[in-house]
């Protein structure tokens, strides 16, 4: 707590938010700056990427046809480091960064190296001496911040505009790379009571205000605190319709940017007046034609589109259930994917090409295990069918026949 205190001796807004949200989350959804500050805004708690179990060491690459060019997209599992991936996918779509053709797997270190090269290749936009010194300082700050991209960013939104964030050193990376950072969590100007309660505060400041005002002896302050809390609860998706309208107005046609919402950073583009988010779910790795998802409401149920923004439908999938056994096709796909990852990692680690007996043996054993499971399931199904037939036969003998 001492490391998270301000000079006045009061706990910082980050600490207050963490304590508050630990027992009273606004609608159950909070931004990364509210829950993650202990891991993102304090040096003592910032974990290295390899020490976090939720941060994989490699990512699968999906190749799409983007403006008639084969372009890589980094996919992610549920808990991937989305700030790093959102920035890198933006650079890939801009062709500012490239991967060797046919690359199927990329490591965190590879992505960080590509990002570092992009940052170092930036040149100052103005040649004045003062601007040059400021640019060099920003460059130094950005390089120091890069490791955080694989563990999370300290982002604190303001509710006054889609580009309004409390300034943190992490924002320098977006500025240097000329990548707009947006959010859509705005207070509706048609609700003057909420506008007055929220004001120009950031998220952290607003949560601190709610705590102070709700425990005040002044009834008017208690009422204002409740209104501010109602705003957070009514916009638990961290996207309001007013914010969505402002996003459409502010984003430029054809602009590729990064969109922050619900603890997640997504690559976003505006095409013919509509907003789309890049689909990076690893579950769609094999669906080359499924690239974008429309952002047209606050519920998050957008439509999927291909790289030319033509409407497409995702493949029909069975509902997830622990009792549903995988199909033979799914089993074989998993075997191939595991084998591909193992081969790619061995090659990236300097392994010499040639017969991979250990890997092939592991693949064979895994395939045999899958086949044994499938045979056991078939036997159980056949036994169940035989028992059902026997029961029907027994009933036919017990049922009296009427002449």
Q: For 317-366, what is each residue's pLDDT tens digit?
A: 555 544 456 666 666 666 666 666 665 666 555 555 555 555 565 566 66
- Same structural domain, 160 and 247: yes
Q: Which two tokens mark 27?
A: 């609608």
Q: What is the pTM of this model?
A: 0.67
Name the residue range of residue 171's domain.
46-185+239-305
Burial classification of residue 306, based on how many CB atoms lie within 10 Å of its CB (0-12 exposed, 13-18 middle, 19 or more buried): middle
- Same structural domain, 152 and 294: yes
| 245 carries an active-site annotation | no
- Same structural domain, 163 and 93: yes
10 domain residue, yes or no: no
Say which of 245, 264, 271, 274 is annotated catalytic. Answer: 264
- Same structural domain, 265 and 129: yes
Instruction: Work out the angle between the directed axes of helices 357-398 and 328-348 (0-180°, nearest 10).
Output: 170
| 274 carries an active-site annotation | no
| pLDDT value, residue 72 | 96
Give the separation between CA 340 and CA 334, rounded to whole angstroms: 10
- Same structural domain, 81 and 144: yes
Q: Into how many domains does the chain fold?
A: 2
Q: Would you place residue 20 in the very low, low, confident or very high pLDDT band (cuts 50, 70, 90)?
A: very low
Give the separation between CA 107 and CA 112, rounded to whole angstroms: 9
59 domain residue, yes or no: yes
Q: Would you place residue 34 in the very low, low, confident or very high pLDDT band (cuts 50, 70, 90)?
A: very low
Q: Cβ of 178: how many Cβ atoms within 10 Å?
A: 11
213 domain residue, yes or no: no
- Same structural domain, 272 and 127: yes
- Same structural domain, 282 and 178: yes
Cα–Cα–Cα angle for 2, 145, 100, nearest 5°? 150
264 domain residue, yes or no: yes
- Same structural domain, 264 and 338: no
- Same structural domain, 163 and 78: yes
- Same structural domain, 274 and 335: no
Say which of 7, 17, 24, 82 is annotated catalytic. Answer: 82
62 domain residue, yes or no: yes
| pLDDT of 271 above 80 | yes
Residues 6+ apart with CB under 8 A from 271: 253, 254, 309
Range in 127-131, 157-161, 187-191, 268-272 with the lowest mean pLDDT: 127-131
Q: For 206-238, what is each residue's pLDDT tens digit?
A: 999 999 999 999 999 999 999 999 999 999 999
400 domain residue, yes or no: no
- Same structural domain, 293 and 335: no
Whether 58 contacts 105, CB under 8 Å: yes
With helix as H, strand as E and coil as C, how does 256-319 read? EEEEEECCEEEEEEEECCEEEEECCEHHHCCCCCCCEEECCCCCCCCCEECCCCCECCCCCCCC
């Amino acid at each position: 707590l001492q490391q998270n205190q301000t000079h006045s001796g009061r706990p910082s807004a980050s600490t207050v938010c963490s304590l508050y949200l630990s027992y009273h989350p606004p609608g159950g959804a909070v931004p990364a700056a509210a829950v993650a500050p202990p891991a993102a805004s304090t040096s003592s708690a910032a974990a290295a990427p390899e020490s976090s179990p939720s941060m994989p060491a490699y990512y699968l690459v999906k190749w799409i046809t983007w403006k008639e060019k084969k372009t890589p997209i980094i996919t992610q599992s549920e808990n991937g480091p989305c700030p790093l991936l959102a920035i890198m996918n933006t650079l890939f779509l801009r062709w500012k960064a490239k991967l060797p053709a046919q690359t199927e797997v990329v490591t965190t270190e590879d992505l960080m190296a590509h990002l570092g090269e992009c940052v170092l290749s930036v040149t100052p936009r103005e040649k004045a001496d003062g601007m040059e010194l400021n640019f060099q300082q920003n460059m130094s700050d950005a390089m120091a911040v890069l490791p955080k991209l694989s563990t999370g960013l300290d982002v604190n939104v303001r509710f006054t505009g889609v580009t309004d964030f409390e300034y943190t050193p992490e924002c320098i990376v977006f500025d240097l790379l000329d990548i707009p950072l947006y959010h859509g969590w705005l207070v509706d100007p048609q609700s003057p009571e909420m506008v007055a309660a929220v004001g120009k505060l950031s998220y952290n400041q607003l949560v601190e205000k709610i705590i102070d005002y709700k425990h005040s002896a002044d009834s008017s302050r208690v009422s204002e605190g409740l209104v501010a809390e109602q705003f957070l609860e009514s916009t638990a998706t961290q996207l309001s319709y007013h914010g969505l309208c402002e996003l459409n107005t502010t984003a430029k046609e054809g602009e590729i940017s990064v969109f922050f919402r619900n603890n997640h950073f997504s690559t976003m583009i505006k095409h013919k007046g509509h907003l789309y988010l890049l689909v990076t779910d690893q579950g769609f790795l094999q669906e080359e034609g499924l690239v974008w998802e429309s952002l047209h409401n606050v519920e998050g149920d957008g439509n999927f589109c291909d790289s030319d923004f033509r409407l497409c439908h995702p493949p029909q999938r069975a509902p997830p259930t622990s009792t549903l056994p995988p199909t033979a096709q799914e089993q074989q796909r998993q075997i191939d994917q595991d084998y591909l990852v193992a081969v790619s990692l061995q090659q990236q680690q300097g392994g010499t090409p040639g017969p991979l007996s250990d890997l092939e043996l592991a693949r064979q054993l895994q395939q045999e295990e899958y086949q044994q499971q499938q045979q056991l399931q078939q036997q159980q199904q056949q036994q169940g069918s035989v028992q059902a037939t026997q029961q029907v036969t027994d009933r036919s003998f017990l049922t009296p026949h009427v002449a």
